[in-house]
Structure formats: C-alpha cells, structure tokens
C-alpha cells in the first residue's frame, strides 16, 4: 500500500507538466526488465498462456477474452464478461502498447506487466481460479506446458512467477508503430491531412497534452483526477461518482477518483470509453474530457478536428497467429 501511495505522490507532482517531447513517434520495441529479458521462446510460451482459457476456473475465459489481440486489444464492451457470465465494473483497457504504461489497470495498482498478469487469473469475477497454486497444478498436468516451461526456464519451472513473466514478455511485443501520426512526427508532413493537423494543434492548444503526452500519449505515468471540474449532470449521467478509482485500493480519501492516464494510441478502435465504458462514441468522450477536465465547450469543427487527429493514432498491428494450445489427449480438467 505504501508503494502505491509513494508512486501516486511522485507522479502527481508532474501531472500538470507538458512533456517537451509530446510529438515523438512510438518506439518499435519496449524495454524489458533486467529480471525478465525477452526471448523468442518466452514470448511463444506467453502467447500460449495469454490465449488459453484453461487458466480460468471454468475453462471459458482467457486473457484474450477481454483483451483481444485480433481487435483493438480490448473487447468493445462497457463492462467485460468473466466466468459464469459475471460482469466487471470497468471497461477493459487495451493491451496494445501497454508495455509503455508506467502502471497497469485503470487504478494503477500494478507497477509492472508481470504484476498485472497475475491479477485477473484469481479475480473471482474475471477468471475465477481459487489460487495460483491451483493454476500451477493444472498446468503441470499438461505435457505441452511442462515441456515449454522447461525449454524457457529449466526443469520443474512451472510457477506463478514464470507464467506471469512469460505473459508479460509476450505483451511487450504488442506494439503498434507507424501510424499516420508517427510518420508525420518522423518528417512525412503529408502523413496527416489538414484536418488532422488542425486537430493536433488544437489538442496542444487546449492542454490535452498536460496528461496525454509522450510517444504513447499516456503521460509520464501520471495519475489524474477525473473529473477535475465538477458537473453534477454529467457525473450523474455517466455514473462517475460510483467508482472511486485508486481509493478503492488504498482506502485513502485523497485518492478518490484518481485514475491512470490511458494511452490514446488506437483510441478510435476501443469504444466505448472512460473507465466504465459510459461514453459510447469517440466524439462523446472527447466532448466529456474537454468539459470535465479542461472546462472547455468544443465547437462542432473543433470536435471534428480532434477526432480526425485521434484517428491518425491508429498504428500498424503486428500479425497475430492464433497459437495451437497444448492438448490433453484422452482427458481434461474438472470444472469447479
């Protein structure tokens, strides 16, 4: 809890600062931590685990169920659906470019992709496993996983730590560079059309980049209060007071309605918007953010220009080949 609190304190100090390199192109590779170097075999194992519904209690929900790598990296639902048809309280954030987040989850409670990968598996609403010990026991019954873990981590290496390292290694490959914006930032001044350039300029003029800065348009890891400017009508219609954000984790009043700043990369593909999916369209989300965060009422033309620019942040997606999961010939696990 102290770790989260200290992180919030440090990051909030820079929440109002516009990063000078706001118009940088997205890197094509994500750095890996020293204790989890990226290897091709580890990425392959992580891809298997990420797409395997047997990591859920009912065998019906995988990481990819809510964070679909054949779409925008999420599920286009206001609230994701977990085991037994249960619905969570938040909209799934995209996994694309998540490697460039300083913290993970909407409330920023995980400091790394490895830490994030561990959470949903044992969340009773999401994947519903009683414990990671149960996950490890199940994986050990699948010969293909025994061999794959041994190839990557050594003999008798199936564990929570190694499984989450593999998933995180795979997620670090999910990068979408070379959007029209990236080509523009790299010197191709024809990559964005005139309307998109007006939108880029308006985003800077309004101050959107005080939070959505840097190559991933997610700021330097900041937490931001949402909404900043009270508006009873909009807060009620979008149910913004119900979820207290980081305070749900820390139980601190000062943390109420603090949220991780989400990336704007591929935002045109990830409707609905906001942490609870209550904004159905990109136009609605832009209007809400301008009003509630900046106190601005956008004109029709300003709104159209900004939305056009945001469409220019859709990058090139690396090809995803659905993996053949390790089989269990002649047997299966027992559902709960």
C-alpha–C-alpha distance, residues 196 and 313, integer Å: 10
Distance of CA 66 to the CA centre of its chain: 11
Q: Do residues 65 and 75 make contact, with C-beta atoms less than 8 angstroms apart?
A: yes
Helix ranges, 128-193 (H): 132-140, 143-153, 160-171, 180-185
Please give the DSSP secondary-structure letter assigned to residue 273: B
Token representation of residue 163: 């499984």
Which long-range contacts link 281-287 to residues 24+ away (Cβ below 8 Å)? 282/307, 282/310, 283/307, 286/310
C-alpha–C-alpha distance, residues 322 and 324, integer Å: 7
Q: Which residues are catalytic?
A: 126
Q: Do residues 116 and 93 make contact, with C-beta atoms less than 8 angstroms apart?
A: no
Please give the DSSP secondary-structure letter assigned to residue 210: G
């Amino acid at each position: 809890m102290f770790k989260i609190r200290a992180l919030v304190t440090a990051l909030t100090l820079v929440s109002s600062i516009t990063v000078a390199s706001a118009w940088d192109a997205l890197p094509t590779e994500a750095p890996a931590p020293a204790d989890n170097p990226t290897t091709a075999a580890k990425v392959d194992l992580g891809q298997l685990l990420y797409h395997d519904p047997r990591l859920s209690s009912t065998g019906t929900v995988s990481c990819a169920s809510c964070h679909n790598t054949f779409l925008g990296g999420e599920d286009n639902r206001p609230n994701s659906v977990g085991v037994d048809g249960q619905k969570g309280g938040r909209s799934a954030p995209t996994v694309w470019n998540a490697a460039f987040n300083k913290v993970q989850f909407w409330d920023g409670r995980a400091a790394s992709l490895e830490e994030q990968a561990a959470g949903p598996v044992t969340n009773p609403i999401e994947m519903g496993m009683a414990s990671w010990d149960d996950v490890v026991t199940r994986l050990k019954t699948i010969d293909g996983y025994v061999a794959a873990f041994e190839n990557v981590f050594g003999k008798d290496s199936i564990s929570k730590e190694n499984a989450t390292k593999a998933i995180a290694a795979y997620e670090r490959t999910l990068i979408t560079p070379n959007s029209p914006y990236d080509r523009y930032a790299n010197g191709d001044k024809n990559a964005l059309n005139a309307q998109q350039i007006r939108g880029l300029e308006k985003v800077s003029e309004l101050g959107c980049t005080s939070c959505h800065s840097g190559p991933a348009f997610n700021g330097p890891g900041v937490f931001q209060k949402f909404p900043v400017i009270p508006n009873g009508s909009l807060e009620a219609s979008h149910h913004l007071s119900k979820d207290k954000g980081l305070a749900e984790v820390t139980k601190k009043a000062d943390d109420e309605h603090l949220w991780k700043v989400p990336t704007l990369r591929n935002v045109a593909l990830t409707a609905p918007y906001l942490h609870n999916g209550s904004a159905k369209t990109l136009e609605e989300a832009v209007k809400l953010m301008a009003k509630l965060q900046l106190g601005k009422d956008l004109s029709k033309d300003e709104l159209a220009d900004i939305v056009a620019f945001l469409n220019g942040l859709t990058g090139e997606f690396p090809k995803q080949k659905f993996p053949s999961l390790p089989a269990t010939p002649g047997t299966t696990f027992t559902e709960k």
